[in-house]
Structure 1
Amino acid sequence: MRMIIHGRHLEVTEAIRTHAEKKVGRIKKYFNNIMEVDITLSAARLKTVPYHTADVLVYINGHKIKASSTDEDLYAAIDEVVDVLETQITKYKEKLRDDKHAGAVKKVKYNPVTKTVEKEAVRRVVETKVSPKPMDVEEAIMQLEVLNHDFYVFMNSETEEMNVVYRRRDGDYGHVEPGWK
């Protein structure tokens, strides 16, 4: 995990850098694939009260998680932003876990007569739209090999109907065409 610490209107001392690295480094235990952490520490003065802001941007698996915290004390702002990050990363990790197990989601129904809860598995159906190109069977088998798929949908140029070629378990190829003629 690469950690970059910037200061805006603030000189980042070694003590501040050490504190930020130690506190923000705690998020490693929540997620293994954290690529980079960008920490921006800033100071400003509003009327008579100085305030400090800690902005953190975490790059995980191509996604960004952003957290910000403002306090009179810079160290307190860093501590608060780490608490916010821990919550956000935990939610992100749970979302990933739930998305991976979405096919096994249970649908819960309450039966008021028997006063029981019944669970049933719900399967998602992923729809794919295909715009098949007209070609002959040999060309479709070549496309199947090039794309390294298990099957390939194409428009048969001879019959002008939708056909499928597929790779069989024995290594040969199968050809499916409609039989309603």
Structure 2
Amino acid sequence: MEIIVKGRNAEVSDRFRTHVNEKLSKIEQFAPRAQRVDVEITHEPNPSQAEVSERIEITVIDKGPVIRAEAAASDRYGALDLASGKLLERLRRARDRRKEHRRSDAHVSAPLTLTPKDVNIPKAKEQAAPEAAKVPTVPGEEVENQLGDSPVVVRQKLYEAQPMSVDQALYEMELVGHPFYLFIDEETKQPCAVYHRHGWTYGVIRLDTRTV
């Protein structure tokens, strides 16, 4: 298993790289077939963000769903402890799910399908796209564009879209720790998004179109 450590606006010492490798060595216990682990370290120079100035994102690339965790703290070692703890818990849940699927093919009911009108999602203000904005063209590629004359930077990343069930989309959303997850429904071929609602309830938003 290869562990790749990189910094975004941050220098990474050999000592910290060694600590990361030691800290993440337990990953193989939960994901023995993991091919690569990407660790990205970001430093926030704004003094007002001192309590969360060091952010770490860990992504496990396996044959199954991508599993990710991130955390921020005032120092890198603390952020790494928080992120690795979340990651190992998600890896454990993924392993347990695989075991359950091998033991049983029990049916899992899909959550309630909702429309934007049902959940009263406020409409975002439309903003003109910057001229000649770069977009990613290769899966895994990331690009950043400044939004007009403002200091806001929009980061885009291209992902491969694999058709899946709603249940699988919910599962993968939990593994990456995001409040929503975009996917193509394998039955309807519609672009969809699952998301957290209140408590342990979920919603599904579907676009009235079909993919080829």
Structure 2 length-normalised TM: 0.47
The answer to whether 1:86 aligns with 2:102 is no
Which one is further off, 12-21 or 27-36?
27-36
Q: RMSD of aligned C-alpha atoms?
A: 1.7
Bigger CA radius of gyration: 1
* Partner of residue 73, structure 1: 75
Aligned to 2:103: 101
Q: Partners of 2:8 and 2:56 in 1: how far apart?
A: 10
Q: CA deviation at 1:25?
A: 1.6
Higher share of residues assigned strand? 1
Deviation at 1:49, TM superposition (A): 4.2
**Map of 2:26 onto structure 1:** 26
Bigger RCO (CA 8 Å, 6+ sep): 2
Superposition map of 1:1-181 within 5 A? 1-50=1-50, 51-103=53-105
SS for the counterpart of 2:10 is coil
Residue 2 of structure 2 aligns with an amino acid whose one-letter code is: R
Deviation for aligned residue 1:62: 3.3
Question: What is the Cα deviation at residue 87 of structure 1?
Answer: 0.2
Compute the TM-score of the two structures, normalised by the length of structure 1: 0.54
* Runs of at least 5 residues in structure 1 that lack an aligned partner in the other structure: 106-181
Q: Secondary structure at the match of 2:12?
A: coil
Q: 2:105 and 2:5 mapped to 1: Cα distance?
A: 41
Structure 1 runs (4+) deviating above 3 angstroms are 46-49
Give the Å deviation of 1:60.
Answer: 1.9
Of 40-49 and 21-30, deviating more is 40-49
**1:13 to 1:104, Cα distance in 2 relative to 1, 3 A:** same
Relative distance call for 1:104 and 1:47 in structure 2 (3 A) is closer
The alpha-carbon deviation at position 48 of structure 1 amounts to: 3.6
Instruction: Kindly state the Cα deviation for residue 102 of structure 1 after the two structures are TM-superposed.
Output: 0.8
Rounded to whole Å, the distance in 2 between the matches of 1:104 and 1:9 is 47
1:27 offset after TM fit, Å?
1.4
